[in-house]
């Protein structure tokens, strides 16, 4: 076995372009699908990890046990009294309650319904840190900013929310009241957060007087050295007693940020894993296809094998030549599959980004590329092994006589 035999395999391969091409196509499809799917899976995981690092792993939330986006359940709220109670629990560092309510947003005669969020301006840095957002244009809300608003990322563009892009200094309406736009937040990457309208808690209480001191969503940070999951349990137990609710029948739940992300990641992983599994089926088809191609090639080249044996090829040489040829089919299918997978996922990623799902951003770590290539070579070589073994075991006399 040596490098020259690989060259021989390569020559044979080049000289049977059409059949090699069709076989390559079959493995290419599978590798393309697997590469693209995994690049999204890895990309989402990276996004989530970055999010967790940025927000800090010491964050916790209290929210209603309802369905729908956090803080949107109208039947659930924690009162100011509850928040004060929790703030005194050992291990709690910072705490802030958030107001959320759907509002009618108007601009230039157009009206749309989006979430309005009331921010506690004393804790605005804490909120921004937890949401991992920063103002990218204009400035943050301050306590005295009555009738002022900061908007989500998407408002800055034509035809995204309103026909015309909203600019700094423009007036928008919330439920008929006018607010001056003083800033825009950066992109979060999902359409809900990027369409939020932020005003101060004082403005919010004026706008929705019934909702005063009723928080749909509470954010907490654990003190240094305090395990967030233990703190979550402690808060849950104490708050349950304070609200006089039975265990298991609470109308709220406390979750650490990491747990929330883990749930999200698990769902993504399961979906991704299932898709990859389907893609693997196509590789099984490719495997059979390569095997078939190699059996055909060996039948066709029986006499050639006889000649090679007559002029000194050992069984292992013949085995190696055909396994190398099948492996080569795999490798080329793999390279093309990775390239095509890259193109497909890039296009998919940019489509997702333009639809507001910037978090669906594919990632291409080197391990993914190498892994896909190694895998496709293995698929090819394994598929080629049985046919190659049969070829290697042909008796030279019989093979030479074959017509």
* Distance separating alpha carbons of residues 313 and 324, to the nearest angstrom: 15
Among 5, 93, 128, 170, binds another protein (CB under 8 A): 5
92 vs 308, beta carbon nearer another protein: 308
21 vs 273, beta carbon nearer another protein: 21
Residues 167-226 that bind another protein (CB under 8 A): none
4 vs 18, beta carbon nearer another protein: 4
Cβ atoms of 149 and 155 within 8 Å: the answer is: no
Cβ atoms of 326 and 10 within 8 Å: the answer is: no
Among 217, 309, 341, 375, binds another protein (CB under 8 A): 309
101 vs 301, beta carbon nearer another protein: 301
Contacts 24+ apart (CB under 8 A), 222-225: 222/58, 222/59, 222/60, 222/91, 222/92, 222/93, 223/91, 223/92, 223/93, 224/58, 224/93
Instruction: Name the region of 175 (left: φ>0; alpha: ψ -120 to 50; beta: rest).
Output: left
Continuous segment of H or E residues that includes residue 93: strand 92-107
Q: Shortest Cβ distance from residue 26 to another protein (Å)? A: 22
306 vs 334, beta carbon nearer another protein: 306
Distances (CA, A) of 321 to 145, 298, 316, 400: 77, 11, 8, 18
Q: Shortest Cβ distance from residue 325 to another protein (Å)? A: 12
What 3-state class would DSSP assign to 224? coil
Residues 13-32 that bind another protein (CB under 8 A): 15-16
Angle at 28 between CA 26 and CA 31, to 5 degrees: 120
Structure tokens at 323: 């396994």
139 vs 303, beta carbon nearer another protein: 303
* Distance separating alpha carbons of residues 205 and 150, to the nearest angstrom: 17
Strands 214-215 and 171-174: unpaired
Q: Shortest Cβ distance from residue 18 to another protein (Å)? A: 13
Stretch of residues binding another protein (CB under 8 A), selected from 6-14, 137-145, 170-178, 209-217: 6-14
Among 2, 144, 246, 366, binds another protein (CB under 8 A): 2
Continuous segment of H or E residues that includes residue 95: strand 92-107
Stretch of residues binding another protein (CB under 8 A), selected from 39-47, 129-137, 308-316, 373-381: 308-316
Residues 344-403 that bind another protein (CB under 8 A): 395-397, 400
Q: Does 335 bind another protein (CB under 8 A)?
A: no
Residues 246-305 that bind another protein (CB under 8 A): 303-304
Q: Shortest Cβ distance from residue 295 to another protein (Å)? A: 18
What 3-state class would DSSP assign to 198? strand
Among 57, 80, 139, 314, binds another protein (CB under 8 A): 314
Residues lying near another protein in the complex (CB under 8 A) are found at 2, 4-5, 8, 11-12, 15-16, 303-304, 306-317, 395-397, 400
């Amino acid at each position: 076995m040596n490098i020259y035999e690989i060259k021989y395999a390569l020559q044979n391969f080049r000289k049977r372009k059409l059949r090699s091409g069709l076989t390559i196509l079959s493995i290419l499809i599978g590798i393309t699908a697997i590469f693209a799917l995994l690049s999204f899976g890895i990309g989402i995981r990276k996004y989530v990890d970055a999010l967790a690092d940025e927000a800090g792993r010491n964050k916790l939330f209290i929210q209603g046990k309802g369905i729908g986006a956090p803080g949107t359940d109208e039947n659930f709220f924690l009162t100011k009294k509850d928040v004060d109670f929790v703030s005194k629990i050992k291990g709690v560092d910072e705490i802030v309650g958030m107001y959320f309510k759907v509002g009618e947003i108007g601009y230039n005669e157009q009206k749309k319904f989006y979430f309005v969020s009331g921010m506690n301006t004393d804790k605005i840095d804490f909120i921004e840190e937890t949401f991992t957002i920063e103002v990218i244009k204009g400035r943050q809300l301050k306590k005295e900013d009555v009738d002022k608003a900061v908007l989500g990322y998407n408002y800055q563009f034509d035809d995204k929310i309103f026909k015309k892009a909203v600019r700094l200094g423009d007036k928008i309406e919330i439920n008929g009241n006018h607010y001056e736009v003083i800033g825009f937040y950066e992109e979060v990457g999902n359409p809900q957060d990027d369409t939020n309208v932020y005003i101060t808690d004082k403005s919010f209480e004026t706008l929705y007087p019934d909702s005063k001191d009723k928080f749909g969503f509470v954010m907490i940070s654990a003190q240094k050295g305090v395990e967030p999951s233990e703190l979550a349990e402690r808060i849950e137990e104490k708050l349950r007693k304070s609200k006089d609710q039975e265990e298991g029948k609470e109308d709220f739940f406390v979750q650490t940020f990491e747990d929330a992300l883990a749930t999200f990641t698990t769902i993504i992983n399961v979906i991704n894993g299932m898709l990859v599994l389907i893609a693997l089926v196509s590789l099984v088809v490719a495997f059979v296809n390569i095997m078939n191609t190699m059996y055909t090639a060996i039948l066709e080249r029986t006499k050639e094998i006889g000649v090679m044996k007559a002029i000194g090829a050992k069984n292992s040489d013949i085995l190696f030549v055909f396994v190398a040829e099948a492996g080569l089919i795999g490798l080329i299918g793999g390279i093309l599959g990775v390239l095509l997978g890259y193109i497909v996922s890039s296009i998919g990623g940019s489509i997702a980004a333009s639809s507001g799902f910037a978090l669906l951003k594919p990632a291409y770590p080197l391990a993914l590329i190498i892994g896909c290539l190694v895998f496709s070579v293995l698929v090819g070589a394994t598929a080629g092994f049985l046919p190659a073994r049969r070829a290697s075991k042909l008796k030279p006399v019989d093979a030479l006589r074959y017509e």
